[in-house]
Protein backbone atom coordinates (compact mmCIF):
# COMPACT_ATOMS: atom_id res chain seq x y z
CA UNK A 1 0.00 0.00 0.00
CA UNK A 2 1.34 3.40 -1.01
CA UNK A 3 0.73 6.41 1.19
CA UNK A 4 0.11 9.68 -0.65
CA UNK A 5 2.19 12.66 0.47
CA UNK A 6 0.48 15.22 2.68
CA UNK A 7 -0.84 18.20 0.70
CA UNK A 8 0.88 21.55 1.04
CA UNK A 9 -0.86 24.57 2.55
CA UNK A 10 -1.22 26.00 -0.96
CA UNK A 11 -2.87 22.82 -2.20
CA UNK A 12 -5.20 22.80 0.81
CA UNK A 13 -6.17 26.42 0.22
CA UNK A 14 -6.72 25.77 -3.49
CA UNK A 15 -9.02 22.85 -2.67
CA UNK A 16 -10.98 24.61 0.08
CA UNK A 17 -14.04 25.42 -2.00
CA UNK A 18 -14.13 21.89 -3.38
CA UNK A 19 -14.01 20.43 0.13
CA UNK A 20 -16.85 22.73 1.22
CA UNK A 21 -18.85 21.65 -1.83
CA UNK A 22 -18.21 17.99 -1.01
CA UNK A 23 -19.30 18.58 2.58
CA UNK A 24 -22.51 20.23 1.37
CA UNK A 25 -23.23 17.29 -0.97
CA UNK A 26 -22.65 14.75 1.78
CA UNK A 27 -25.07 16.62 4.03
CA UNK A 28 -27.68 16.76 1.25
CA UNK A 29 -27.30 13.00 0.79
CA UNK A 30 -28.17 12.57 4.45
CA UNK A 31 -24.85 11.09 5.53
CA UNK A 32 -24.23 10.90 9.26
CA UNK A 33 -21.66 13.14 10.90
CA UNK A 34 -19.62 10.05 11.78
CA UNK A 35 -19.52 9.02 8.11
CA UNK A 36 -18.64 12.54 6.99
CA UNK A 37 -15.76 12.69 9.50
CA UNK A 38 -14.15 9.73 7.70
CA UNK A 39 -13.91 11.58 4.35
CA UNK A 40 -10.92 13.18 2.69
CA UNK A 41 -12.81 16.48 2.57
CA UNK A 42 -13.23 16.51 6.36
CA UNK A 43 -9.58 15.58 6.86
CA UNK A 44 -8.41 18.41 4.62
CA UNK A 45 -10.71 20.95 6.23
CA UNK A 46 -9.41 19.86 9.65
CA UNK A 47 -5.82 20.13 8.52
CA UNK A 48 -6.39 23.56 7.03
CA UNK A 49 -8.07 24.79 10.22
CA UNK A 50 -5.28 23.43 12.40
CA UNK A 51 -2.64 25.15 10.25
CA UNK A 52 -4.46 28.46 9.78
CA UNK A 53 -7.16 28.70 12.48
CA UNK A 54 -7.66 32.45 12.10
CA UNK A 55 -8.41 32.14 8.38
CA UNK A 56 -10.41 28.90 8.23
CA UNK A 57 -13.24 27.73 10.47
CA UNK A 58 -13.29 24.31 12.12
CA UNK A 59 -15.05 21.61 10.10
CA UNK A 60 -17.56 21.11 12.94
CA UNK A 61 -18.57 24.75 12.58
CA UNK A 62 -18.78 24.48 8.79
CA UNK A 63 -20.88 21.33 9.18
CA UNK A 64 -23.34 23.16 11.44
CA UNK A 65 -23.62 26.10 9.03
CA UNK A 66 -24.08 23.90 5.97
CA UNK A 67 -26.50 21.60 7.76
CA UNK A 68 -28.67 24.57 8.68
CA UNK A 69 -28.42 25.93 5.11
CA UNK A 70 -29.46 22.59 3.60
CA UNK A 71 -32.28 22.12 6.12
CA UNK A 72 -33.68 25.60 5.46
CA UNK A 73 -33.53 25.06 1.68
CA UNK A 74 -35.82 22.02 1.95
pLDDT confidence of residue 1: 65
21 contacts 61 by C-beta, under 8 angstroms: no
Give the DSSP letter of residue 69. Answer: H
Neighbours of 49 (CB within 10 A): 19
14 contacts 49 by C-beta, under 8 angstroms: no
7 burial (CB, 10 Å; 0-12 / 13-18 / 19+) is middle
φ, ψ at 64 (rounded to 5°): -60, -45
Segments in the chain below pLDDT 70: 1, 74
Amino acid sequence: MTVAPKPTIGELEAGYSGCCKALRLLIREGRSLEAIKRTVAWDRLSLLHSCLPTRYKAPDYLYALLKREVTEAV
